[in-house]
Amino acid sequence: MGMPVTAEIADNKRAAAAIADTFAYFHEIDKRYSTYKPESEISRINAGLPEAQWSGEMKTVLSLCEQTKRETYGFFDIMRGDKLDPSGLVKGWAIQQAAERLRRRGIDNFCLEAGGDFQVSGASSRGEPWRIGIRNPFNRDEIIKVLTVASEGVATSGTAVRGQHIYDPHNPEAPIKDVKSLTVIGPNVYEADRFATAAFAMGKDGINFIESLDGFEGYAIDTEGIATLTSGFERYAV
């Protein structure tokens, strides 16, 4: 769906087959959910495919989108005009599904990343916790924070790479200008990603929303370069 995907597997003996399976899975996800491909299931749904012909997986994903909308006070909304675009949830959900596929293969030490969102498990090839950098949204070559995680998901929403692609559903015509990036650490990448997207749509209030969630931490950078952290964020920082 127009984003880079990387996989690092520290269980070397099984890495080649596992990586091949992981990328094959992401190709399947792209074929089903890409709004850029007219033959994808979501594109056919937007073109009028009857609900009776929707896949069970699609119904599950759209139900999760509706659940997320309720849990975020309407700030997560997949409607784009009269079209459905579940990309804001599918990315994290797909990474999480890919991680579960690896675990079913008996692989415990890995890092999966798609479009800047991460799911890690176990330890790196050095036997250490995985380290994930947060980029400076004003200078993509600079890392401004390094996080250590062992089983959590990390997701960042922002405008530095893709511009104004996230909007406030309550005020869709107004671009989000008071925050540049918002990183969320959660129990897994699915949870981190969906709440990062919604929190970014909330603007400066988004970091307060993350603070209110049990088991989540966040790091927001506003348009003046000032960072705001949730109360437990620093325990993940190197």
**How many domains is the chain built from?**
1
Query: Which residue in 154, 180, 167, 162 sits closest to 78, CA to CA?
Result: 167
Residue 115 CA to residue 221 CA, distance in Å, equals 19
Neighbour count for residue 227 (Cβ, 10 Å): 15
Name the residue type at position 55.
S
Residue 199 CA to residue 165 CA, distance in Å, equals 14
End-to-end CA distance of the chain: 32
pLDDT given at position 164: 57
The ranges of the chain with pLDDT < 50 are none
> Tell me: the pLDDT tens digits for 20-50?
999 999 999 999 999 999 999 999 999 999 9
pLDDT given at position 2: 75
Q: Which domain holds residue 16?
A: 5-236
pLDDT given at position 49: 98
pTM value is: 0.94
DSSP labels, 146-159: EEEESS-EEEEEES
CATH of the domain at 209: 3.10.520.10
pLDDT given at position 234: 97
196 touches 154 (CB < 8 A): no
Residue 83 CA to residue 99 CA, distance in Å, equals 29
